[in-house]
Amino acid sequence: MFKIEEAIKLDAQDEISQYKNEFYLMKDVLYMDGNSLGLLSKRAETTLLNLLDSWKTLGIDGWTEGENPWFYMSETVGGKMAPLVGGKLGEVIATGSTTSNLHQLVATFYKPTGNKTKILADELNFPSDIYALKSQIALKGLDPAEHLVQVESDDGRFLSEDRIIEAMTEDIALIVLPGVLYRSGQVLNMEKIAAAANDRGIPIGFDLCHSIGSVPHSLHEWGVDFAFWCTYKHLNGGPGSVGGLFVHEKNFGTAPGLAGWFGSKKESQFDMNHTMDPAEDSSAFQVGTPHVLSLAPVIGALEMFDEVGIDRIREKSLKLTGYMMKLVEHELSEFGFTVGNPIDDTRGGHILLEHQEAARICKALKEAGVIPDFRAPNGVRLAPVALYNTFEDVWHTIQKLKVIMDEKRYEKFENKRGVVA
């Protein structure tokens, strides 16, 4: 048995441990679900309250006055996110949601012509992305069953980059893939895949929902055409907080597939002309008025990423998940768990424990004061987050899980997920 003293020693060596004090932690709860919804930080609360105050004191003048003028907030927040995805200033904009941004980008870059009519995706991607791709194909008058190609997985956990590249045939018009697989946490080699797509002249984009704020990216350097993400997971922006998108500068000037007036140049937007004068950078891909109240907490949340740097966050994240896997191996080996995430450093910010009783195990964990995440059909996801989780948190989590399994405390629950899992 691994003793808690090792966890305490690792926490004493942690160079960013002080950031735990920046967050509102729930009393007597071990929060291991930051890959679904990050916790509220005091800074995010402050920037939200300051925004509310600007509305209260400035009224409509808040669009151009105050600490964070609303008219420019999407660009301001986009600039703060750019280092996290390896984008240049102007390539990143905070706008929309994951799926609305995907619709915008596919509407922009999916141009089926001749025999190039298909979109290449994968069978392990988050369902919302697949729904959007199918609907965009249908809007072109094409059959999604024929024109959406999904790369298969041999084991239901991982994807082969070589198989993805082999699927880049002459009939592929667009490629959309996840940066990190939402179930297994596999980090795809985006650089390798993007290079292959560029060699074949196929536009390529990535869903970064499970990678932004958890792993570093170099989207500009890799030649990725576009990317999109949410801000409420590892970025801790709050439930429903505004998403983000990246468009490589090589694509500046491409007309947005879904045009809206906030995609206009700032200086001409209020001319009210019926001919759009689009911005010359990623701002052009905005559609409607910014959701200012949902942007505000992201400003405060991002301050810590600027201070710590994504490389140090990644370093601690790997240590946390590595320590958790070591505990799983030595403490839970007799209970039938399978580790479904990569064992090496190609994993993202969470681990996946597979078990036939996963749904009821998650319920038992919640009863024991651990917040996990269930993913059908048999996955328990645990995400120790670098900014606010400790090695001691990880140790206690696995000890609680061991008691649950040893005493079969999960048996009193139905092996069925809740409405929200």
Tens digits of residue pLDDT in 34-75:
999 999 999 999 999 999 999 999 999 999 999 999 999 999
| Domain-terminating residue out of 292, 307, 322 | 307
Known binding residues for pyridoxal 5'-phosphate are 98-99, 126-129, 207, 210, 232, 261, 289
Helix residue ranges per DSSP H, 219-309: 219-222, 266-269, 292-308
- Provide the 8-state DSSP code for 278: B
Mean pLDDT in residue range 120-134: 98
Query: Domain total for the chain?
Result: 2
Q: Are strands 172-178 and 118-122 parallel, antiparallel or unpaired?
A: parallel
| Whether 380 and 301 share a structural domain | no
**pLDDT, position 417:** 81
116 part of a folded domain:
yes
What is the domain extent for residue 348? 4-31+309-406
Verify that 124 and 168 share a domain, yes or no: yes
- Cα dist from 219 to 164, 246, 251, whole Å: 18, 8, 13
What CA–CA distance (Å, rounded) separates 290 from 356?
A: 44
Q: Do 24 and 113 reside in the same domain of the chain? A: no
Interior/surface letters 372-396, b for 16+ CB within 10 angstroms, e for the rest: bbbbeebbbbbbbbbbbbbbebbbb
Q: Is the model's pLDDT at 2 over the cut of 90?
A: no
Q: Residue 212: which residues within 8 A CB-CB, separation 6 or more?
A: 81, 84, 85, 179, 229, 231, 233, 234, 235, 244
Is residue 80 within 8 Å of 299, Cβ to Cβ?
Answer: yes
In sequence order, the 6+-apart residues with CB closer than 8 A to the CB of 232 are: 37, 38, 238, 239, 240, 241
CB-based contacts of 124, cutoff 8 Å, min separation 6: 153, 156, 157, 159, 178, 181, 183, 184
Going by C-alpha positions, the residue among 299, 389, 383, 408 that lies closest to residue 44 is 299
Split at pLDDT 50, 70, 90, the class of 323 is very high
Residues 353 and 253 in one domain: no
The mean per-residue pLDDT over the stretch 12-30 comes to: 97
Tell me, yes or no, if the pTM score tops 0.75: yes
Q: Flag whether 286 is in a domain.
A: yes
**Residue 155 belongs to a domain:** yes
pLDDT of residue 416: 84
> Taking residues 386-405, what's their average pLDDT?
98
Which residues define the annotated binding site? 98-99, 126-129, 207, 210, 232, 261, 289
CATH code for the domain of 15: 3.90.1150.10
Q: Give the per-residue pLDDT at 421.
A: 75
Burial of 84 (0-12, 13-18, 19+ CB in 10 A): buried
**pLDDT interval class at 1 (50, 70, 90):** low
pLDDT at 185 > cutoff 80:
yes
Q: How far is CA 385 from CA 42, 94, 190, 285, in A?
A: 16, 23, 23, 31
% of the chain at pLDDT higher than 90: 98
Could you tell me if residue 247 is inside a domain? yes
In a shared domain, residues 163 and 61: yes
| pLDDT tens digits along 69-109 | 999 999 999 999 999 999 999 999 999 999 999 999 999 99
Domain end call among 307, 332, 362: 307
Among 307, 340, 369, give the residue marking a domain's end: 307
Could you give the maximum distance between any two Cα atoms of the chain, in Å?
A: 71
- Write the pLDDT tens digit of every residue in 350-370: 999 999 999 999 999 999 999
Question: Do 176 and 282 sit in the same domain of this protein?
Answer: yes
List phi, psi (to 5°) of 21: -70, -10
Residue 361 and residue 385 share a domain: yes
Q: How confident is the model at residue 420 (pLDDT cuts 50, 70, 90)?
A: confident
- Tell me the CA distances in angstroms from 340 to 10, 156, 307, 416, one per residue in order: 25, 9, 33, 20
| Whether 152 and 276 share a structural domain | yes
Radius of gyration in angstroms for the set of CA atoms belonging to the chain, rounded to a whole number? 22
Residues 114 and 192 grouped into a single domain? yes
The string of pLDDT tens digits covering residues 251-309 is 999 999 999 999 999 999 999 999 999 999 999 999 999 999 999 999 999 999 999 99
Residues 226 and 369 in one domain: no
